Amino acid sequence: MKQQRRNDILVEQVVERLKSIRRARGLTQESVRFDTDLNIGRIESGRHSISLTTLADLCDYYGVSLGDFFREIVTRR
């Protein structure tokens, strides 16, 4: 079975950006889960990669475009 590819640098930055946006809006993980039916705690743990669809849903919920979300994210250090 082929192992899934994973860019830990990218995942870490996506997780930190999601946490930052949620906190800036004064939202708890519980309120986001209630409003979106997404387990944001699991997403923010960084143990699993987030799908683009889920990321787009969260960006819509937070009122952030995907372009703005990825503006300062890099894939390599």
Please state, in angstroms and rounded to a whole number, the distance separating the CA atoms of residues 35 and 5: 31
CATH label of the domain that carries residue 28: 1.10.260.40
User: Is 30 a residue whose pLDDT tops 80?
Assistant: yes
Give the count of domains, the chain. 1
Q: What pLDDT, on a 0 to 100 scale, did the predictor assign at position 74?
A: 84
Question: Is pLDDT larger for residue 74 or for residue 2?
Answer: 74
pTM score > 0.85 for this model? Answer: yes
62 within some domain: yes
Domain encompassing residue 25: 8-70
2 within some domain: no
Q: What is the pLDDT of residues 38-61, one digit of tens each?
A: 999 999 999 888 999 999 999 999
24 within some domain: yes
User: Is 2 a residue whose pLDDT tops 80?
Assistant: no
The sign one gets for the Cα dihedral 66, 68, 69, 73 is positive
* Chain mean pLDDT for the chain: 92
- DSSP structure string for 6-72: --HHHHHHHHHHHHHHHHHTT--HHHHHHHH---HHHHHHTSSPPPHHHHHHHHHHHT--HHHHHTT
- Residue 69 confidence class, pLDDT cut points 50, 70, 90: very high
